[in-house]
Structure 1
């Protein structure tokens, strides 16, 4: 039987109503995570499946696994960061089917992954490992990624091709550097897991799922709704709050936490 994702509590949890948060919070990433968002509510964050268990996961596999582990407690709100926003919209809809009430949806630089998303993340991880890969292998991996993007048809193909290239390059470089196999397995497995997560997120109908959501946007031009034309942006939400902070700092910014707390208080008062 495939192991499904579960949740972890961020901070103290005295019981009662919950806030659920969807993110791929890998250790060592530079971007702030929901653990950095200072709100006075019990927050449960998604945990990814054990490395390798996610192979073949689709959108429904993730969402079904999360739903099965949500206890019989009121859900105050559902939060989503980046691609986690696509899952968060699905989660709100499924919870509404179960409880008869749609929890508020709060999105932070939300994105619906595209092949370009896959390539951006690929370049980021390849360049972050340039010290291990070396200049020649890094350049080759970038060139191979460019060719894969030109040939790929859709998110699934792009992700699979980029994962193959990265795993091959990383394993060869780590072997030459004499790095332990356990480290190599974790490195390549984490990247494959993230690619699967993005692929599944791309399957969500975000236009439908984000209806009525509160969107918290950073000032980074390439993040969240910022690359969109004004009309496309307005189609997704009329509840956008913009902050003059970088994408990586969005969840650790006190003004964002204060705005989230205010939204949650209003939602609680309106019930």
Structure 2
């Protein structure tokens, strides 16, 4: 059984579609498990299982990607396409570029509200994680975490990777204390704490990868949410100019529902059959 990829859709085929995301139960954004049934795929769809590692400035993107790439190559499947959601779009671009080195015919790339990870991205995503813990964290702890996160974000010259590592270092003791108050078994609590660390590491590594060579031939699926994907990149001056992606398809739907909408799924299904 794979430890690097989760089979979201199974089929008898020599080809596979890959999807890069950080899937967690309970999030309000749609995921590839919701998109897959709408695609009517005739091949497998695999979704990333992010490594359980703590964030740090010494995380090497090549080391982080290697387990995913090794299992793909050893599987013998031909990769038809690589999909990516939000920050996962960074990994989609990078994986597709690497797969093209050994595979005859580069896989197509489809990115959903692609994000370049910067300090505000890490701050926003960390805030969403903490928002899911309001039932276990006390009011003074939530206030402290919010104030510390703001302070750390404003540190001179802080990189996204440094910020992610600092956030997790600050959060860990508070999270452990809060989960202990609930009576949760220590090993179970450690799994939840490690999940937060793994997510911060995921964002940290993504911040150190330049996905734009891959995105230059990608189709971007965009929502109407101004703070997401190419909408945000354009307004912040980080990207979205001609050539940033090969094609953009826009849908009248919020970011959180982008992988749930039938119209977007229909468009992606057409791309995957080309």
From the superposition, tell whether residues 225 and 39 of structure 1 become closer, same or farther in structure 2 (CA, over 3 Å): same
SS in 2 for 1:24: coil
CA RMSD of aligned residues (A): 2.0
1:62 aligns with 2:64: yes
TM-score, normalising length: structure 1? 0.90
2:33 match: 35
1:12 match: 10
1:45 match: 47
Q: Give CA-to-partner distance per residue, 1:64-102, whole Å, 9 cap, x none.
A: 211111122222111111111111111111111102421
5+ residue gaps, structure 1, are: none
1:92 aligns with 2:96: yes
> Cα offset for 1:13?
2.2
Q: How many residues align?
A: 262
Does structure 2 conserve the Cα–Cα contact (< 8 Å) formed by 1:5 and 1:66? no
CA–CA distance in 2 between the matches of 1:95 and 1:33? 23
SS in 2 for 1:234: coil
Selected match of 1:260 from 246, 249, 268: 268
2:141 match: 137
From the superposition, tell whether residues 62 and 250 of structure 1 become closer, same or farther in structure 2 (CA, over 3 Å): same
> Cα offset for 1:53?
7.9
More displaced stretch, 233-242 vs 170-179: 170-179
After the TM superposition, which residues 65-214 of structure 1 pair with which residues of structure 2 at under 5 Å, given as runs?
A: 65-70=67-72, 71-151=75-155, 153-214=158-219
CA–CA distance in 2 between the matches of 1:30 and 1:181? 27
More displaced stretch, 209-218 vs 64-73: 64-73
Q: Give CA-to-partner distance per residue, 1:115-156, whole Å, 9 cap, x none.
A: 111111111122221221121110111001111111261011
Selected match of 2:240 from 233, 238, 243: 233
CA–CA distance in 1 between the matches of 2:114 and 2:272? 18
From the superposition, tell whether residues 203 and 80 of structure 1 become closer, same or farther in structure 2 (CA, over 3 Å): same
5+ residue gaps, structure 2, are: none
SS in 2 for 1:225: helix
More displaced stretch, 34-43 vs 174-183: 174-183
